[in-house]
């Protein structure tokens, strides 16, 4: 029997808060189904809950003693224990109950937030209730937008309640329409310097590919004037593959002059991709942070150089974007990886505010956090991007977009969204396992043509 058909055995787990009241109200409306309810955390005290209890037969109430048998017969469990106000750790009795439901493997619906999970951080207890469907009430919350990270539900459905909302939310959106609404078209009088110069500084002996992927990312969105700044020893490798960038090779004696000249002539800069063995890399980072007058994207080795040295970010006058994955972020803030995994959003926001930078915390649901508290939680992308070089492509896309879009935070959100979206498009015709990062420009070309660019 399907769990939602008439005659199905439905068990409501009720908490004492608003979610419990919503659960009792829903239970009172299911007259043609075999509804039972268990007060898992006390009786809800709202007027709506009292009214609902009067409409439900007293025989529908399940005692703690009768719960195992009722659960064993349930076709569907409705989770209405905890809602958006839940913070903290589960009591042993709740862990036992939730574990019994999770082990039962019956169909589960959660109302708004899965019990045992925090709405505003996405943190979930190990024994939190897992669901097939979570019904987001009125609007999406951070918990819903971070599904790829916590994997507590298979599907989320939005139930619009028509409630009033603040005029402006701190959570930003991005989609195909919003992206192309903000993406600048080349006018008839455009020339190669219309959007300034995009400067990519990176690579080293043994890691020339990282800078190549930076260039591929920047070319994906049609950057008109690319400058590749790289150690002399990898110049033949990179220049042998790309002919359109302007190259600025530097050596042991010339690095300062070459990079200083580039910094004064750039609209956006990236540094760090593939720079593991780059000569003078610490001095180059200091020079970039001191002399840049445009947005700076710091990736990979640049982030590792900031370990125990993040205070320097406080003194940078130009906008800085840091792009760590979880392990790099753990090193930057000197915290165990487990701490980062459990508190991605609050820690990203805290770092952004404390150091005045935009944080792009890369994970299945990448988080973008601004110093002013704006947040974007990305929904695009898949495990196809779980490969070396994916972040280098993102850095190239982001740096180029920063030269083309004046709103720094918006440009970063656009880059993160596009990076995942092109992978989504690419894996419609190519395998996830063998997805080639080098295919980004051709996938984007089809998207440009579709939108008339």
CATH topology of domain 9-159: Rossmann fold (3.40.50)
Domain boundaries, the chain: 9-159, 176-450
* CATH code that applies to domain 176-450: 3.40.1190.20
* pLDDT (tens digit per residue) in 404-445: 999 999 999 999 999 999 999 999 999 999 999 999 999 999
DSSP-derived 3-state class of residue 9: strand
* Residue keyed to tokens 């990448």: 366
Which letter does DSSP use for residue 88 in this model? S
* pLDDT (tens digit per residue) in 89-117: 899 999 999 999 999 989 999 999 999 99
User: Partners of 114 in the beta sheet?
Assistant: none
List, in order, residues 6 or more apart from 168 with CB less than 8 Å away: none
Q: Which residue has the higher pLDDT, 163 or 286?
A: 286
**pLDDT mean over 6-14:** 88
Helix H, strand E, coil C: the string for 371-429 is: CCCCEEECCCCCHHHCCCCHHHHHHHHHHHHHHHCCCHHHHHHHHHHHHHHHHHHHCCC
**Segment among 18-22, 28-32, 260-264, 430-434 with least mean pLDDT:** 28-32
**pLDDT mean over 67-88:** 94
């Amino acid at each position: 029997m399907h769990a939602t058909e008439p005659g199905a055995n439905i068990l409501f787990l009720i908490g004492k808060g608003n979610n419990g009241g919503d659960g009792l109200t829903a239970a009172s409306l299911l007259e043609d189904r075999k509804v039972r309810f268990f007060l898992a955390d006390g009786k809800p005290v709202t007027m709506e809950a009292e009214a609902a209890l009067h409409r439900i037969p007293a025989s529908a109430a399940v005692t703690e003693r009768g719960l195992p048998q009722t659960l064993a017969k349930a076709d569907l469990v409705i989770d209405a224990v905890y809602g958006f106000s839940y913070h903290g750790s589960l009591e042993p009795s709740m862990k036992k109950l939730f574990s019994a439901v999770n082990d039962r493997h019956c169909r589960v619906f959660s109302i708004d937030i899965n019990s045992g999970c925090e709405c505003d951080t996405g943190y979930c207890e190990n024994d939190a209730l897992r669901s097939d469907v979570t019904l987001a009430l009125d609007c999406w919350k951070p918990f819903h937008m971070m599904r790829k990270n916590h994997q507590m539900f298979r599907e989320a459905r939005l139930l619009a309640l028509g409630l009033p909302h603040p005029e402006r939310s701190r959570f930003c959106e991005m989609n195909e329409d919003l992206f192309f609404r903000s993406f600048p078209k080349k006018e008839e009088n455009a020339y190669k310097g219309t959007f300034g110069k995009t400067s990519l500084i990176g690579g080293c002996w043994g890691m020339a590919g990282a800078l190549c992927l930076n260039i591929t990312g920047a070319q994906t969105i049609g950057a008109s004037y690319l400058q590749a700044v790289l150690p002399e020893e990898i110049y033949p490798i990179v220049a042998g593959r790309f002919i359109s960038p302007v190259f600025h090779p530097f050596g042991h004696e010339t690095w300062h002059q070459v990079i200083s000249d580039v910094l004064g002539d750039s609209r956006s800069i990236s540094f760090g991709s593939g720079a593991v063995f780059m000569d003078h890399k610490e001095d180059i980072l200091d020079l970039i942070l001191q002399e840049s007058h445009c947005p700076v994207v710091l990736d990979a080795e640049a982030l590792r150089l900031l370990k125990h040295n993040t205070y320097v970010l406080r003194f940078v006058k130009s906008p800085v974007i840091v792009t760590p994955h979880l392990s790099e972020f753990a090193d930057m803030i000197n915290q165990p990886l487990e701490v980062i995994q459990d508190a991605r959003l609050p820690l990203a926001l805290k770092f952004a505010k404390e150091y005045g930078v935009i944080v792009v915390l890369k994970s299945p649901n990448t988080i973008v956090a601004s110093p002013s508290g704006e947040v974007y939680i990305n929904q695009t992308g898949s495990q196809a991007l779980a490969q070396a070089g994916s972040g280098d492509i993102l850095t190239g896309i982001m740096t180029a977009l920063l030269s083309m879009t004046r709103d720094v935070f918006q440009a970063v959100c656009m880059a993160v969204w596009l990076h995942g979206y092109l992978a989504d498009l690419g894996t419609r015709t190519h395998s996830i396992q063998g997805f080639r990062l080098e295919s980004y420009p051709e996938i984007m070309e089809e998207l440009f043509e579709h939108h008339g660019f």
